[in-house]
Amino acid sequence: MNLFTSSGNLGPVLPEAGATSTHVSFAVPANLPVGPVTIQLVNEPYTGNVESNAVLATVGDPIGIDAVSQQGATISVSGSGFTPATVINLFNEQNGSVVNLGGLTQGGAARIPLVNVTSSGFTFERPAGAVAGKAYVQALNPPFVPITSTGNDPQGAFDLP
């Protein structure tokens, strides 16, 4: 079985004895990082159409934001479910419109680098394009589907001085 994580594929992971056509169990590897995982079964003889559909699950706490604070240029986010692969959108009200200063570049790199990332929080520096006023942090974990996002949770809102 393949076990895809933010750290790459931890497979092959062998199923425990007693697997049937409708049920399989496996031991979670000790180095499995918190966050989203994708599980895919692969049957012998390992050629042809032998892979199952991929199933998405979350290991550890679901991603969520409890609070956002700012000290100088450093913005701190506390919550749960964050990983080194977490990416943020930073929405900032500018001249009557909302601008997203975060997300990914065309090359797939985070526009706003996160530092001090733990499962319960992270910090980042105020981007140069941010202006004083309303702001909102949305955190996302790969593979960037709805269950891996903090969505529109009101705890992501704060005022930039």
Residue extent(s) of CATH 2.60.40 domains in the chain = 64-160
What's the pLDDT band for 52 if we cut at 50, 70, 90?
confident
The pTM of the full predicted model, rounded to 2 decimals, is 0.74
* Average pLDDT rounded to a whole number, residues 79-99: 93
Residue 73 is predicted with a pLDDT of 96
Contacts of residue 96, defined as CB under 8 A and 6 or more positions apart, other chains included, come to none
Average pLDDT of the chain, as a whole number: 89
CATH of domain 64-160: 2.60.40
